[in-house]
Chains A and B, each alone.
Chain A
Amino acid sequence: MKITSLLPLAFSIAAVASVVTAGEDSTLSVEGEVFVTKIAAPAHLENVDEIFSGWTYRRDETQALQMDDFENPSFVFIDQALDQFEMVEGSAGKACSSCHESAEVFSGLRASMPRVNSAGELETIPELINNCRTERMGAEKWKWSGGQMSAMLGLIGLQSRGMALNVAIDGPAASFWEKGKELYYQRVGQLDMACSSCHEDNYGNMIRADHLSQGQINGFPTYRLKNAKLNTIHGRFKGCMKNIRATPFKEGSDEFKALELYVASRANGLSVETPSVRN
């Protein structure tokens, strides 16, 4: 009796193990371009030697979706953003394209954000977009994780696809980075877990059917099969916090911006994969 009942378990563990191996051995390439999904951790990471893109931990079918832009569902939204880019909105009678010749001018931006601006503030891409909308276009702000915002973040991020993530953590960024690091290791919620509990101490392990990744954000915004839309970085942070029964910080809050900088810095060296595909 006991032996028979153990068999399905052994099978499921074997199946899980094969998924893990497949992920670590496979190479991510899109349109002939090879991506860095695994590299030595940046020097400022104390407890991790090697960093892995979240793509590494996904099943073969999910991985494949990201390897072909025609299969990648994100591009439905990227197309919408391309139309939006030309759309005149607001009191100034301007579109994005009135000032920016094409989305391609944003090449490299995604790889270095968030960053500290000349006023000493930590700024993120959604804030740059909304600044343009309110200050230059005289248009309404977009919601942080709304459909228009996440699509535009996808379009802008795509212009840096394949570039190595390289956010600055020193100089004026240092205090924001320290604050983000503190939040990363801070236990919260009824489940009393920190980001590090899962994404540093347990990456590669299964939590029930979920294969824990390092929580890298080099692929955001990311299309999730779970909700069939592009997901923003802060939207994902919020979801994680709710999962551990914690009151999330607000999207766009100083806390999430600092956390974004810190988490982005943990991926320094990995390729930007925007728009990635995940579970």
Chain B
Amino acid sequence: MRLTKITLAAVVALGSASFAETTAPGNIKFGENGGIELSLTSVAGDAASGRKIFMNRKKGNCLACHVNSDMAEQTFHGEVGPELDGVADRWEAAELRGILVNSKNMFEGTIMPAFYRDSGYNRILKKFDGKTILSAQEVEDLLAYVMTLKE
């Protein structure tokens, strides 16, 4: 308890984004529909950063499975998941956050990986053990970008 207070004080004192408060994967509260109302971090998502995460093969690699006309400059858009043009018209931010964090709560049996989950995996490769695919801030950045996809 005391330690928490000291940590918080340090964050305030430094005022740095890298010390932003984040919600650990195990502490996330999913709504009944699998959505997540609260941001995973105290720093607003950065859509420009999110756009890079979307196409980065080592990060979100969302383009591997989804068509996204906003990225027409990129060749080879995947066909595994639904097209994301206008996705922000069809879904609320909380729903999309839930889908990014762990879409299996909403779509049972989906092929889509959970981008912010750090346990419960089977035979996970050692270097990824205990880790999430994206950081909390990366999820928020990605969400900020996806929310710009309106028709």
Q: Is A125 an interface residue (CB 8 A)?
A: no
Tell me how far the C-beta of A188 lies from the nearest C-beta in chain B, rounded to whole angstroms.
Answer: 5
The answer to whether B63 touches A192 (Cβ under 8 A) is no
Question: Bound complex: CA of A2 vs CA of B149, how far in Å?
Answer: 12
Instruction: Given A205-B79, A205-B80, A208-B78, decide whether A190 and B73 contact each other with a Cβ distance below 8 A.
Output: no
Q: Do the beta carbons of B123 and A201 come within 8 Å of each other?
A: no
Residues from 229 to 276 in A contacting B, C-beta threshold 8 Å = 241-242, 245-247
Residue contact B114 to A202, C-beta cutoff 8 Å: no
B interface residue numbers (CB < 8 A to A): 57, 61, 63-65, 67, 69-70, 72-73, 75-80, 111, 113-114, 121-126, 128, 131, 133
Question: Judging by beta carbons under 8 Å apart, are A188 and B122 in contact?
Answer: yes
| A12-B77, A192-B114, A207-B78 as given contacts; A186 in contact with B72, CB under 8 Å | no
10 closest A-B pairs by beta carbon, nearest first, are: A209-B76, A205-B79, A208-B64, A9-B72, A197-B111, A5-B72, A190-B128, A191-B113, A188-B123, A247-B123
Q: Are A187 and B122 in contact (CB under 8 A)?
A: yes
The CA of A255 and the CA of B72, in the complex, are separated in Å by 42
Q: What is the bound-complex CA distance between A207 and B78, given in angstroms?
A: 5
Question: Given contacts A9-B77, A202-B80, A245-B128, is CB(A192)–CB(B72) below 8 Å?
Answer: no
User: With A and B bound together, what is the CA distance between A9 and B74 in angstroms?
Assistant: 8
Which residues of chain A are within 8 angstroms of B131 by Cβ–Cβ distance?
190
Q: How far is the CB of A108 from chain B (nearest CB, A)?
A: 36
Q: Pick 13 A–B contacts, CB within 8 A, sort by A.
A: A5-B72, A7-B72, A9-B77, A12-B75, A12-B76, A13-B67, A189-B121, A190-B125, A190-B131, A192-B121, A192-B122, A193-B113, A202-B80
Report how far A16 CA is from B78 CA in the complex, Å.
Answer: 10
Tell me which of B70, B79, B124 contacts A206 (CB under 8 A): B79
Which of chain B's residues have a CB closer than 8 A to the CB of A8?
72-73
Q: Is the CB of A207 within 8 A of B126?
A: no
* Residue among A16, A187, A201, A245 with most chain B CB within 10 A: A245
Residue of A190, A197, A201 with most partner-chain B CB within 10 A: A190
Given contacts A8-B73, A9-B67, A245-B125, contact A192 B78 (CB under 8 A): no
Task: Look across to chain B and name the residue whose beta carbon is closest to the beta carbon of A197.
Answer: B111
Residues in B whose Cβ lies below 8 Å from that of A209: 75-76
Contacts of A241 in B (CB 8 A): 123
Closest to B76 in A: A209
Interface assignment of A103: CB less than 8 Å from any CB of chain B:
no
Interface of chain A residues 75 through 131 with chain B (CB within 8 A): none
Chain B residues whose CB sits within 8 angstroms of the CB of A197 once the complex forms: 111
Given contacts A12-B77, A190-B113, A208-B78, contact A245 B124 (CB under 8 A): yes
Closest to A241 in B: B123
Contacts of A5 in B (CB 8 A): 69-70, 72-73
